[in-house]
A = this chain, B = another copy of it.
């Protein structure tokens, strides 16, 4: 086997979850990009995950790879996991199955019961396993909506929730979103994010058994070389191009009007992966 890949949703209960997901009656199209389809997860569905990451919603790269948290946010999370000595023993789902459209769509729907009901089916499938003994011992939430979503599930399964270590982190793209809103610079928001993540490292290391050497080093107050880690091939579908794991961005929303921009994603192979013989024009 030269390439490892994510086997997808062939086994129960994930076959049913991937076959019967909420549509536009639950996720209104004015607030969610339902047109790009649901994107369910990334990581292990076979019970071997030691930590669950609950993210917010998918974006451009995820709409192409059909797995969540593969763009820059995901690479920052992958780097956090590496600091815990976790390389592949995780599973990630999002608060929302579809990409949020607009600034406030997420806040508007965080309490929707039908959205929560489906999300809780996933959380039950991942967190409540009778056999074998659950390997999963910690939950990381990314951002306030994920934290709220997790607490919603925890009230339905208080005994299981009590046995899980919970780390409620700032969202990996908090620096960009907070500074775009104004009132804080990108540099200050980055430092705040990294300070927040540092504060959670010790607790996570106490609860998550590492599978690789722990990187026992705190974050600085800016992103450093090595803080972002490439997505492993085993998280992506069979035959995934190698640059889908790249640290360079390769998918963006294009289109000359807002209407066309919602309809369009342009995929451009990163320069470093253009390894074919040069083409003259």
Contacts and interface: CB of A to CB of B under 8 A. Distances in A.
Given A64-B64, A239-B40, A274 B257 contact: no
Nearest to A274: B263
A1 B21 contact: no
A3 to B, nearest CB: 5
A184 interface: no
Nearest to A275: B29
Interface stretch (A6-14, A74-82, A151-159, A209-217): A6-14
| Overall SS of chain A's interface | loop
Nearest to A30: B277
Nearest to A250: B263
Interface stretch (A87-95, A134-142, A199-207, A264-272): A264-272
Nearest to A269: B263
Interface string A29-49: 110011111111000000000
B9 A274 contact: no
Interface residues of A, number: 62
Given A35-B276, A243-B35, A266 B263 contact: no
Contacts of A20: 1-3
Given A10-B10, A30-B276, 14 more contacts: A3-B18, A4-B19, A5-B18, A7-B10, A24-B275, A35-B276, A37-B242, A37-B244, A101-B276, A237-B237, A257-B281, A258-B279, A258-B280, A263-B274
29 contacts: A1-B19, A3-B18, A3-B20, A5-B18, A7-B9, A7-B10, A7-B15, A18-B238, A18-B239, A19-B238, A24-B275, A29-B276, A29-B277, A30-B276, A35-B274, A35-B276, A37-B241, A40-B239, A64-B267, A66-B237, A66-B239, A254-B266, A257-B279, A259-B274, A263-B269, A264-B266, A264-B268, A264-B269, A265-B267
